[in-house]
Amino acid sequence: MTAMLGVDLTGRRVLVAGGGPVAARRAETLLAAGADVLVVAPALCEALAQVVRAGRVRWEGRRVEAADLDEAWLVHTATGDPAADAAVVRWAEDRRVFCVHAGDVASGTARTPAVARQGDVLLGVVSTAVADPRRSVAVRDALAAHLEAGGADLRRRRAARPGHGRVVLVGGGPGDPGLLTLAARAALAEADVVVADRLGPVSVLDELPADVEVVDVGKQPGHHPVPQREINRILVERALAGHVVVRLKGGDPFVFGRGGEEVLACREAGVPVEVVAGVSSALAAPTAAGIPLTHRGTVGAFLVMNGHDGWGAAALTGLRERGLTIVVLMGVAVLPDLVGEALAGGVDVGTPVAIVENATLPGQRVTRARLGDVVGVAARAGVHAPAVVVLGEVAAEGLLAGAAAPGAVASR
């Protein structure tokens, strides 16, 4: 019977007997665990020689001897010589030191599991009967995929320790939970607190365990009940209390999402913070509507802008000269102003415009019109946020076969 045991090798001597590729892989794994690795072998393969040249392990260029095990906490033998490996196993047994025999797992006193890491959880799979590395790897890969997809609750169960929390800014994408990345799912699986917007994949909140704290800081056009400074305070306060805090944002945290401000607030407070990229609605909404932002022979570049900031010179010039596709986020409320400024700036009245509402969700709708008509068409269609506005030749209906996504409504 084999028992699984987590062993702390940090700073502890581990002997690797052998200098071939197997020994090189074992040495790298042990170094990652923080072990003090001693390699004993007459010669080294190139991979292991590089590790030695880098000063990461010590090397004795000779055959392994019994005395090499005297200060070791663990031994890996992979000399490729059955007699030498058998001797190392005997010497380890005499010294009551666990030994992994790479060439004959059954004769050693320890086995190396197939491992995978998800956050601070280390998953190990090992056979309790005849060694079967391929089966162990297959099981590990299946379990690792389950964890990566957020399929298990990975929250810490012991009481939070003040000062040991962290913040993860997660880009949730445009709304369809299927567009959440694996990294986003994994972060949610570890979350004690989720600070959520009203946009993005809010349906995933229903999948969280009942005792995960969800803080709603959603903003609506013209109504920001929780100002950014307060959001920053919530993130820092919960993390300093020892919690894993996920800031679930629509789109990508760094595309008009104020993610940079939240990162700075965490760093100023000494809170560890990381960012998980998301699919920006600037890219996802046109794609969902069948609109290619670049198209060979039509346009080769695009620019993303915040509608409330108004036109920049580059955007207006690119649109006027038909050299850019313009994607406007948060532009529905200011659409009349944007259109008026564009027309006054010399943009062709016939420039195609497409407005994509609720992109990637069941209620997605695409409204198309010429620049000169789009304000009236949008008003009659009852266009509302959240929506992405696309201007340029690629927004023309019929540019691609099936230009509107299935189920979308096209208005003119």
3-class secondary structure for the chain?
CCCCCCCCCCCCEEEEECCCHHHHHHHHHHHHCCCEEEEECCCCCHHHHHHHHCCCCEEECCCCCHHHHCCCCEEEECCCCHHHHHHHHHHHHHHCCEEEECCCHHHCCECCCEEEEECCEEEEECCCCCCCHHHHHHHHHHHHHHHHCCCCCCCCCCCCCCCCCEEEEEECECCCHHHCCHHHHHHHHHCCEEEECCCCCHHHHHHCCCCCEEEECCCECCECCCCHHHHHHHHHHHHHCCCEEEEEECECCCCCCCHHHHHHHHHHCCCCEEEECCCCHHHHHHHHCCCCCCECCCECCEEEEEHHHCCCHHHHHHHHCCCCEEEEECCCCCHHHHHHHHHHCCCCCCCEEEEEECCCCCCCEEEEEECCCHHHHHHHHCCCCCEEEEECHHHCCCCCCCCCCCCCCEEC
pTM of the predicted model, to two decimals? 0.67
First to last CA, the chain: 72
Q: Is 249 part of the annotated catalytic residue set?
A: no
Q: Is the peptide bond before 386 cis (omega within 30 degrees of 0)?
A: yes
- CA–centroid distance for 197 within its chain: 19
Strand 213-216, strand 193-196: pairing: parallel
Distance in angstroms (rounded) separating the CA atoms of residues 104 and 108: 7
345's CB contacts (< 8 A; 6+ apart) are 311, 316, 320
Q: Is 121 exposed, middle or buried (0-12, 13-18, 19+ CB in 10 A)?
A: middle
Q: Tokens 């996802």 identify what position?
A: 284
Q: Is 197 part of the annotated catalytic residue set?
A: yes
Stretches where the chain sits below pLDDT 50 are 1, 402-412
> Distances from the Cα of 173 to the Cαs of 27, 153, 157, 257, 305, in angstroms?
40, 22, 29, 11, 18
Evaluate whether 258 touches 264 at the Cβ level (below 8 Å): no
Evaluate whether 375 touches 335 at the Cβ level (below 8 Å): yes
- pLDDT of the residue at 194: 95
Q: Which two tokens stand for residue 61?
A: 């260029």
Among candidate residues 219, 337, 348, 373, the one labeled active-site is: 219
CA angle 60, 66, 69 (to 5 degrees): 70
- pLDDT of the residue at 331: 94
Q: Is 363 exposed, middle or buried (0-12, 13-18, 19+ CB in 10 A)?
A: exposed
Distance in angstroms (rounded) separating the CA atoms of residues 199 and 212: 19
- In degrees and rounded to multiples of 5, residue 291 shows phi and psi of -105, 115
Among candidate residues 36, 85, 197, 252, the one labeled active-site is: 197
- pLDDT of the residue at 158: 58
Evaluate whether 30 touches 91 at the Cβ level (below 8 Å): no
Q: What pLDDT digit, counting tens, does each position of 300-354 carry?
A: 999 999 999 999 999 999 999 999 999 999 999 999 999 999 999 999 999 999 9
Q: Which amino acid, one-letter code, is at 122?
A: L
